[in-house]
Amino acid sequence: MYDIVIIGAGPAGLTAAIYARRAGKSVLVLEKDSFGGQITFSPKLENYPGFESISGNDLAQRMLEQALALGADVDMDTVTGIENGPIKTVIGEMGRYEAGSVIIAAGARHRRLNLPREEEMIGNGLSFCAVCDGAFYQNAHVAVIGGGNTALQEILLLAETCEKVTVVQNLPILTGEQKMIDLVLARPNVEIRYSTLCVGYEGDNHLTGLRLRNSENGDETTLAVDGAFLAIGTEPENLAFAALAPLDDGGYIKADESCRTPTEGIFAAGDCRVKAYRQVATAVADGASAALNACRYLDSKG
């Protein structure tokens, strides 16, 4: 029996553990994959306060060590559901865990193309975040894969500093907001390849190019690039919590800045909830808010 069970050990979950332990609550953090979440894919962070530069792995390790030093318990398990009641029961593949309150910090996974060698290229020339990694490609040639709003935001940011940005869009049109499309089309250093699929990656230990296929005529070409950004959106994994934490059309948990869900005692923090920006700093802020509100909820129950 714990005061708080936290589902997910990314920045939001680990921050929640730190705040909850400092408030004297017993805490269990459950993680199904690897501690640190999506930041572990970033070889260098330059926009996290307090560090001019730090790798995602190093930042995650520091957060984990701090939570452990404060007395949080951590375990590996895949959560498949939550039973509600005065005492919440978190159901995992390996066990059942009781708590007075639950914080869902399950994150959101960047969508992949699921091509061969994709995972090994992530962090080695293949990235998901221009805000995080765009500065490494100043005056370079990069590709952006995607044509929706997520991709358009990445393109505009990269076009400010890159020599050239080639957009690989699988449809014959861009699908984002018209205002953003107009801004992209006005950039002289942006080239758009419509009706084009990325079907493979080139390079040994680092990405050097993309293998492309035109969906209209089947022609295949290789595009040499210094780096590429996958910008085809994110996908949360929140179906296990849908009965207690309502989801929007994209599958994200509906929770406001207080991180409360409509179910008493259950909170949602970080990339898994509906929010405008998904950055490490905003995830950390969510973790603090969720933990403080969970502690307040527990204290109100005596």
By DSSP bridging, strand 27-31 and strand 2-7 are parallel
CB 176 within 8 A of CB 151: yes
Residues 165-203: b if buried by 16+ CB within 10 A, e if exposed? bbbbbbeeebebeeebbeebeeeeebebbbebbbebbbb
Compute the distance between CA of residue 278 and CA of residue 53 in angstroms, rounded to an integer: 19
What contacts 94, CB < 8 A, 6 or more positions away? Answer: 75, 76, 77, 78
CB 90 within 8 A of CB 5: yes
Residue with tokens 């040639």: 141
- Which of 271, 288, 207 minimizes the C-alpha distance to 38? 271
DSSP structure string for 82-109? EE-SSSEEEEESS-EEEEEEEEE---EE
Catalytic residue among 129, 162, 198, 259: 129
Catalytic residue among 33, 58, 73, 132: 132
Name the 3-class secondary structure at 135: helix
Catalytic residue among 133, 226, 271, 286: 133
| Residue 129 designated active-site | yes
Q: What distances in angstroms separate CA 250 from CA 89, 238, 263, 271, one per listed residue?
A: 26, 10, 20, 12
**Residues annotated catalytic, as ranges:** 129, 132-133
